[in-house]
Amino acid sequence: MNKITTTLCFLLISFLGLAQVQSRTCSSMDHLHSLELSHPEIIAKRNLIESQTQSYINNPIKPKQRAVITIPVVVHVVYNTASQNISDAQIQSQINVLNADFRKLNADIINAPAAFQAVAADCEIQFVLAKRNPMGDSSNGITRTQTIVTSFSYNDNVKHAATGGKDAWPSTDYLNIWVTKLSSGLLGYAQFPGGPTATDGVVISFRAFGTMGSVLAPFNKGRTTTHEVGHWMNLYHIWGDDGGSCNGSDLVNDTPNQGAENYGVPVFPKISCANTPNGDMFMNYMDYTDDIGMNMFTAGQKVRMEPLFLSGGARFSILSSLGGTYPTPTISCGTPSNINSNGITSTSATVNWDAVATGSSYTVQIRPSGSNTWTTYTSSLTYYTISGLSSNTAYEYQIQATCTSGTGQFSPLSSFTTAVAAPQTCGNPTSLLISGISHTNVSLDWQAVQDATTYTIQIRELGIPTWTTLTSSTNNIAIQNLIPITAYEYQVSATCPYGTSEFSASKYFNTLSAPPPSCSNNYEPNNSLATAVAIEKNTLVASILDSETDNDYFAFTTTAAQPKFKVSLTNMPADYDMKIFNSNGVQVFSSQNGRLQGEVVVSNNSSIPATYTIRVLGYNGKFDPINCYRLFLETSNSDFKVETSSSIDDASKPQIVYYPNPAYSQLTTEIYSQGNKDVQCTIYNSMGRPVFSKLITTTNGLNTLNVNVDGYANGIYMMELIDSEERKVEKFTVQH
């Protein structure tokens, strides 16, 4: 039941969880007041319509003018994103729901309680998508408008092109339905009879229109549109919008008085307002239950709709609309006859027809049975072979002739069904070719496989168990970022619409050695363990120490398949040293060779993957800002040949490095030791007098001694280190 104070009604939805709609709400009075302020004449029009309605209800013997009323519908899709541009099929699903609901042909009418079955009504109103537009041209009853507006509210902006929407077709001839994204959870709203003609119609969220595509539960059965079209036909909410006071009325005699709106799917009977024994008619389309809980209009609601379509009624003019019929073409060319098909396979068929006098060409249009989308072909003969069809599929087709005098009508629909396709297999790629090999790149080609849509390439280093998988849409691929001087194995398989082939037999290639790198200091900043630059195996690294304080740090990681490694430092332009640290920052190697002799580090004891860092530094601050040194990393699963004593697996005497030299504030001494040793450290000035002395006990690995030389006079000093095995003396300079 509903008071006669509602002109426009909109539905709001709440989003909980993953934005799922939970229940309907209505705020029709706010919208009504806004409409009355802008169009005061509506009040008088609505009073007149209600007077006509009550007069008709009070004279039931007055005959109806038509048994079934057909209403042409135009659906205006106003979208901002592609997902809002709903399909023709989704639109047709809503038209189907309207026809079922208003004709009492909905399958779920059986769910109406027996107590209400007697008043459930066939409203004898049906709907059809418009077949011609206001200019008289053929139409499918759908317009599509892309807008920059991200969402609309109930202010009718969607109904005007000037505000980002779409102008209405004449409401005297069409039911206008706008489908768009609505803000604030709005499901939809309708304009009651008597409102402005330019905005007459219904607005529905694209999330609640139809039964497929973009719709969301629980409003995915098309009943939002049924509800709003009920308003468009002068029906009010069944509870009377009285806030549950039991004083409201929807002006329909056979709908029980009820307290407030119902949500979800109540259990019958739902008692309110002392309406025992049957309670609320919550399954009525004009309540607020979920779509799945709605299933009926009543005979009384049908009687409220009928006066609209009588002479003088608010919607009488729509009965004479031509919008629901196709325009009649001027026939000046015959229609093909004797339509038949033959030569039917799983993917093709030949259609034939008799020639039309003066026919110069023919149009063949075909579609899968039940589809709304035609595929069109043209033939200058009286037959056409259609290919690319789907197997075991029913098709319908028709033929149209084109003559010098014009175009004729399409023939009646004919049909055929394609044969069942024999099982197909996807062929294996063959003739694998390799080209464009460099130290990091390669191009792979193979013979194209019939019907293949994509190819899968799996590649790995020879001897490594794990494959790397790549995909190509063509019968070739360029692969980058390979490892220089490395043997690779690869295979190719094809994917077709009907399956995937086996992988081809393996093919092999070797990458080339990397070209000598240019001597540029392009690894900076890498002056600490934290800023170490990652390098790859079998790749020559060239860099520069461009100042006495410059250090270069490089990181690498071994794998379980190749845990052993070898690092070579060569082409040194000055006396450079190399140190290697483990993942904990502990030094596990220090230079063994002096002057310009190269350094080679071999680790054959490693059996598990690990991360290491290489440090390259100048001995006593040596550097060369022009010429580069070279660093080369190799990994393996077998032992490297140990050609020098520079193996991190060999015990060695303490290695000592001093820096900076000259020292200006602090002198750092790095001592690498295999095990624990007592080392006496003494500094002498140029007169041979000791100025610093300290006994330290080394630990295995790197040991650091920092000496503050702020108070030392400028000049040359001697650092003496004595342990149980040897004495070592080095000069350094203090320069403030």
> How far is Cα 341 from Cα 160, in angstroms, rounded to an integer?
49
* Strand 69-79 to 125-129 pairing: parallel
Query: Which residues have CB under 8 Å from 474's CB, separation 6+?
Result: 455
Amino acid at 714: N
Pull the structure tokens for residue 660. 């900076």
Q: Considering 228, 306, 461, 670, which one is annotated as catalytic?
A: 228
Q: Beta strands of 526-640 (E only): which ranges?
A: 533-534, 541-543, 551-557, 564-570, 576-581, 587-590, 599-603, 611-618, 629-636
The DSSP result for 700-723, as a single string, is SEEEEEEEE-TTSPSEEEEEEEE-
State how far the Cα of 536 lies from the Cα of 633, in Å rounded to an integer.
Answer: 7
Contact status, residue 619 vs residue 657, Cβ threshold 8 Å: yes
Residues 160-168: contacts with CB under 8 Å, at least 24 apart: 160/198, 164/78, 165/76, 165/78, 166/76, 166/78, 167/198, 168/76, 168/197, 168/198, 168/199, 168/200, 168/201
Amino acid at 327: P
Lay out the sheet containing 576-581: strands in order across. Answer: 533-534, 551-557, 611-618, 576-581, 587-590
> Which among 278, 407, 299, 393 has a CA at the least distance from the CA of 346?
393
- Nearest alpha carbon to residue 298 among 262, 248, 268, 254: 254
For the question of residue 228 being annotated catalytic, the response is: yes
End-to-end CA distance of the chain: 99
Whole-angstrom distance, CA of residue 342 vs CA of residue 349? 6
Secondary structure (3-state) at 502: coil
Cβ 615 vs Cβ 551: under 8 Å? yes
**Rounded to an integer, what distance in angstroms lies between the CA atom of residue 305 and that of residue 69?**
11
Catalytic amino acids? Answer: 228
